[in-house]
Amino acid sequence: MSNTYASETETLNMDPKYLARFACLIQAIKTINTTAERFGIDCEKTTSWIKPGAIQRFIQEEYPDMLEDITHERKQLKILGIS
């Protein structure tokens, strides 16, 4: 199974597992950005916020739920005849 992303210039097929990991990475970055803004850290001027270990742990913790959400959404789209 794969998800298809279509734009005006390209079509990209994504495996749900890959998509879930990528979505978790995006969620981690958003969480980091929100927290950095709260503490007055400018993420564009410093790299002190980059903590690969913490990001990896976040992805590992969020991945099962994200994969379940994506799988559920794919089933809903299939039922509706969209996917």
Residues 3-50 have pLDDT tens digits of 555 555 554 567 889 999 999 999 999 999 999 999 998 888 888 878
- Alpha-carbon distance of 14 to 29, in angstroms, equals 20
User: Is the Cα torsion angle 67, 7, 34, 32 positive or negative in sign?
Assistant: positive
Residues 46-80 have pLDDT tens digits of 888 788 999 999 999 999 999 999 999 888 877 77
Q: Is residue 4 part of a domain?
A: no
Q: Do residues 21 and 12 touch, judged by C-beta distance below 8 A?
A: no
Q: Is residue 3 part of a domain?
A: no
Return the closest-CA partner of residue 71 out of 4, 14, 20, 11.
Answer: 20
- The residue segments making up the domain with residue 27 are 16-80
Domain total for the chain?
Answer: 1
Question: What is the reported pLDDT for 29?
Answer: 93
Q: Is residue 9 part of a domain?
A: no
Q: Is residue 58 part of a domain?
A: yes
